[in-house]
Amino acid sequence: MADAPASSRQNLLLHPLTHEVYALDDELVHRSNVQVSNHVKISFSDFEKLTQTGPCSVERIVEYAKRRHGEFHFSQIVFLQMKSGPDEQQPRFAWASRICVEVDQTIPQLKSGGCFGFQFLWIWPPSAAINAFLTYQERNRLSLVFSTMLERYAPSVSHLSAAPGAQIGPDDFDGAVHVPFAKLTAEKRFFISCIRPQRTQFQRRLLTDRWPAAMQDAENAAKLKFQVAHIASRSAVEANELTNAVIWVNQRRDDQRPRKRALSSAFALGNLPDDIFTRIVGCALTDEMTMCRTDAAKCICAMRSVSKQMRVATDGFMGLMLGRLTAKMVACVCGKYAEPVRSLSAQVRAIGITPRQALELRSSDLVQPSEEQVALYPQLRDMHSVPRWQRYLKMRLAIDTSVSAEKGYVRAKEQPSKIYKRLRVLGRSNSPNLEPVVVRPEYDGLIAKGGVASDHAGDVLELAGV
């Protein structure tokens, strides 16, 4: 695919699933007022908090603009012309917004000062765009203002995303040209590494959400109360007591948690081969590092206190893993990283730090691996210095004090493309003029992921190569 021309590099789209960059032609982008800056300004510290606690979605951008700047103006909306249906004469439009991240601190590998990220367009979900459109219409009606631009660029309600269930992306626009990652500037590459994929148009349910269990318990209690009420030999008091007893049992059943069994000490880890021994140490460390900071610190300190050999194994693995991860982060910003950036940024977030902290972890306060660590981990021979795990924990403390830890989300239990195809086939009987059913099974795995940090523990372990 040909590279995007220089004139289109100011209108960039980030694929919501693959995180590949695409450029839109200038003719597809319309603005309400070309003389006014239409992006939302955001400081880097606020940007880091925004991207660390969830996706960089339009809803959160608008909420930030209202909270920080007092308002979100209609002039800050950009109108994008999408693909039209085969029988349609009028073009379809999607609404989008821009952000401008102001760098107010020194970041390794990046120029000090300035701003970045204003070239990227963040598309509004159709439901949010329609709600905003109706709100602006009502506001204009009450103020006796008639806007032809508002009616001309009304958001489309009939357009279906090219990736079923996902956000509108580059596949929904004509002439979207792929931009190679290596041809982006260092600021843009760093900006992309901070963004997490926005896999769906709707907010996922948290793993800690007890709403389904509560609804099931309420339904069971209602059924039980109905059945007991029709038993002649039961009084109202007895029925109420029986219902409360069943609810109490269900609550005690849900509150119980399976207890971890104590590990058997029938054999000594030191007697195992080095490859198996280091694999066990790596699995234990990566599992705890993807949890909260206190659990990671307790695990590292506990393993180091077991024996001298375990201390060497723990320090060696932490240095190897942090060294490789931070080296790949530096290579990503410098344009020498060929793998998908979404997997790298997911690994960085999985261990509880941000891309900025990964760059800072590699820039200073490094330590040279010992001979015992190199003997246990031969991969350390090519690494003259590695980050300190103590500084890594301090960075996690710094980010935890400013940003609350994000909880995991529930995964999809069925392939999104199958759900989409089934619903579309059922809907075609009432609307025969609908577009043909097109599914993208290759996106199912990306959409189904719920963003749970522990899911990336295996990726972090494989990154270390043990």
**What's at 460, amino acid-wise?**
V
**Bridge partners (DSSP) listed for residue 23:** 12, 177
Answer whether 112's CB lies under 8 Å from 106's CB.
Answer: yes
| pLDDT for residue 202 | 63
Q: Looking at the predicted structure, is the pLDDT value of residue 445 above 80?
A: no
Measured distance CA(111)–CA(108) in Å, rounded: 8
Determine which helix (DSSP H) or strand (DSSP E) holds 8, and give its type and residue range.
none
Asked if pLDDT for residue 192 goes beyond 90, the answer is: yes
What pTM value is reported for the model? 0.77
Stretch 278-293: mean pLDDT? 85
Q: Tokens representing 91?
A: 């073009």
Query: Which tens digit of pLDDT belongs to each residue from 253-262?
Result: 555 544 444 4
In sequence order, the 6+-apart residues with CB closer than 8 A to the CB of 270 are 277, 307, 309
Tokens of 197: 């994929």
Name the residue among 342, 311, 345 with its Cα closest to residue 325.
345
SS3 6: helix
Confidence of residue 290 (pLDDT cuts 50, 70, 90): confident
C-alpha closest to that of 446 among 82, 96, 196, 178? 196
pLDDT averaged over every residue in the chain:
79
Q: What angle do CA 99, 105, 106 make, to 5 degrees?
A: 115
Closest to 123 measured CA to CA, from 172, 68, 184, 66:
172
> What's the confidence (pLDDT) of residue 455?
60
Which position has the token pair 């085969």? 86
pLDDT in tens, 317-345: 999 999 999 999 999 998 887 778 888 88
pLDDT digit string, tens, across residues 36-82: 568 899 999 999 988 888 788 888 899 999 998 888 888 889 999 98
Token digits of residue 306: 């077991």
**Which residue in the block uniquely carries the two structure tokens 């982060």?**
329
| SS3 of 118-145 | CCECEECCHHHHHHHHHHHHHHHHHCCC
Amino acid at 389: W
Query: Per-residue pLDDT tens for 11-46?
Result: 999 988 888 999 998 888 887 665 556 889 999 999
Q: What is the DSSP annotation of 252-293?
A: HHHH--PPPPPPP-SS-GGGS-HHHHHHHHHHHHHHHHTS-H
